[in-house]
Amino acid sequence: MHRHIVVRYIMSQIHFRTNMKSAIIATIIGSAAAFAPAPVAKTTTSLNAFEDELGAQPPLGFFDPFGMLSGDVTQERFDRLRYVEIKHGRICQLAFLGQVVTRGGLHLPGDIDYSGDSFDSFPNGVAALFGPDSIPTAGLVQIVAFIGWLECAFMRDVEGTGNEHVGDFRNGYIDFGWDDFDEEEKLSKRAIELNNGRAAMMGILGLMVHEQLGGDLPIVGAM
């Protein structure tokens, strides 16, 4: 009885480590593709309806190592995955920029609380949220509440407002000259945002890991 339990445990560990290695390799390859030039999406007549979607680019082309789009996948499924990818990319671009700016010595002026603690008195990165020198709990609650308000009020696709594609959050009240672009330029700018978001997801993950490892990084400085 005990022997069977030990064998099953060993096999489960081998299976877990194999999956982890596959995930790490796929992540490294995906990060390399994020920096490749982004082509304009084209209409496809292939069996896989998503092979020529925006974001499928050299050197990997249509890259789906975990099979999330394999089998009988609907357009709604693809749009949902693209929606999540774009939103995560935008969040990570802001996060990476925030890391670089604050580690460069730029902080908001004034105090973060009534106790007289200034913004620059708190550490940068993850240490500002967790640890002995993190910002007060009330500050974290305000941050979460603010993000929730943005999520519910602005960062969503409102139907019937003229949005053109997945991730278009203009909702009829913001433009920044988008309507003046031709279709080719619109596709190019969407591809640039998508690729920058992919690179930022890898970038912020790398910064978080190096923050725990310590050391110095170019541009960012001491972690």
DSSP code of residue 136:
P
If one counts every other C-beta atom within 10 angstroms of the C-beta of residue 57, the result is 19
What residue type is assigned to position 110 of the chain? Answer: G
Q: How far apart are CA 129 and CA 140, in angstroms?
A: 7
What rounded mean pLDDT belongs to the chain? Answer: 78
Q: How far apart are CA 130 and CA 140, in angstroms?
A: 10
List, for residues 124-174, the tens digit of each pLDDT value.
Answer: 988 998 888 999 888 899 999 999 999 888 888 888 777 888 888 888 777
Predicted pLDDT at 219:
64
Check pLDDT > 80 for residue 22.
Answer: no
Predicted pLDDT at 38:
44
What b/e string do you get for 70-88 counting C-beta neighbours within 10 Å, with b at 16 or more? Answer: eeebeeeebeebbeebbbe
